[in-house]
Amino acid sequence: MSIEELTIHRPAPNPLALEHSALFLDLDGTLAPIAARPQDVHPDPRRTDLLERLCAALEGRLAVVTGRTLADADRILEGRVTAVAAVHGLVRRDAAGALHQHSVHPRLHEAAEAFRAFAARDSGLIVEEKGLSVALHFRLARHCGEAARACARRISAETGLAVQDGDMVEELRTPGPTKADSVEAFMTEPPFKGAVPIFLGDDATDEDGFAAAQALGGFGVLVGAARPTGARCRLTDVAAALAWLRAAL
């Protein structure tokens, strides 16, 4: 095995022990396959049933931590998961159902207008407005990726919005809480407090979640192709992640 392979290789996680664990689960690329357009991800009764049974077995110690809006996460998860951190941590609904939301950046509308102007160059570019952030998807226009990244960085420098790199998406977000902050906040509250956090995610937006879980005595699990990561373990794809979760029940 080469030095590079040693750097990125991660073993599969041991079977999930539910008794003392707390699960933090990304959505796209982890619980649901990546779709060409955000709106193409739909509810799946089998996934909903799995999450409901896991949440019951964990006595509520399950949260979904996603870049999607809270409304969109609820749509996909059929409203069955109470604890959700949305928009990369800028919105958080705790296990008791209380909502914690950051204030919107005053120049976000300018970023949205600039992204819409950029997207006019190609029909495959999609602008997604999330209330506290705006995303420019280029999965259907990959040849525009470099220009999209440059556009996001220019707007960030002009407005003070934070750049959130993702899988075929550039996002400009209100500076504020992250996925890591969400994990830390959940872990101070019942029923998560005192458990071992395990964070499953697939891309760069999940790396701070992996780091938070490890700092709190748990670990991260990368879902997808091997790459340099802070996660301790890896599962090959969404199907493998769902199978690993299902095997614990």
Residues classed as catalytic: 26
Radius of gyration of the chain from its Cα atoms, rounded to whole angstroms: 18
**What whole-number distance in Å separates Cα of residue 216 and Cα of residue 72?**
29
| 8-state DSSP, 29 | T
CA atoms within 13 A on the CB side of 167: 21
**What whole-number distance in Å separates Cα of residue 61 and Cα of residue 187?**
9
**What whole-number distance in Å separates Cα of residue 157 and Cα of residue 60?**
41
**What whole-number distance in Å separates Cα of residue 27 and Cα of residue 200?**
9
For residue 23, list its beta bridge partners.
62, 198
- Whether omega for the bond prior to residue 43 falls within 30 degrees of 0, making it cis, is no
User: How do strand 126-129 and strand 99-101 relate by DSSP bridges?
Assistant: unpaired
Task: With beta carbons less than 8 A apart as the criterion, state whether 173 and 205 touch.
Answer: no
**What whole-number distance in Å separates Cα of residue 126 and Cα of residue 143?**
14
| 8-state DSSP, 224 | S
